[in-house]
Amino acid sequence: MSDEEPGDSGSTLVQSGLSAMTFSEMASFVHDIEERPLPRLVSDLPGLLTLSDAKYQLVQMVLRKKTKEGAPEREPLLTRLRELASAGDATVSARAAVLLSRPVE
């Protein structure tokens, strides 16, 4: 699968999110998202947006921080989210649109 495909679970970050069950595993997952190099995070976005609701909320929390005004990662992430908002996968598209439509705090 390519990184364009929403079901791409080949990423170690996405795999970490899929397997995280305990509080410490989820905390580690959040830390991994925060520390992920930008090019890899951008390519992992489709898979991250398909995670379960609880894990998606963690992804959303980190992405909100990374897309705040003045954040160095803001523009590449917003560009990729705009692309994903028009993606064929309904879940990915809807979640990307939500991230784009809510005011950044």
Residue type present at position 69: E
- Number of domain units in the chain: 1
Provide the pLDDT confidence category of residue 9 given band limits of 50, 70 and 90: low
Reading the block at residue 28, the tokens are 């580690």
Domain annotation covers residue 2: no
> Can you state the angle between helices 53-66 and 23-35, rounded to 10 degrees?
30
Domain annotation covers residue 78: yes
CA distances from 5 to 10, 15, 31, 85 (A): 11, 15, 24, 13
Question: How far is 25 from 46, CA to CA, in rounded Å?
Answer: 21
Q: In this predicted model, what pLDDT tens digit does every residue of 22-69 receive, in sequence order?
A: 999 999 999 999 999 999 999 999 999 999 999 999 999 999 999 998
Domain annotation covers residue 26: yes
Q: What is the DSSP letter of 58?
A: H
Domain annotation covers residue 1: no
Q: What is the pLDDT of residue 88?
A: 82
Q: Which of the pair, 102 or 36, is modelled with greater confidence?
A: 36
Q: What is the pTM of this model?
A: 0.84
Domain extent at residue 26: 12-101
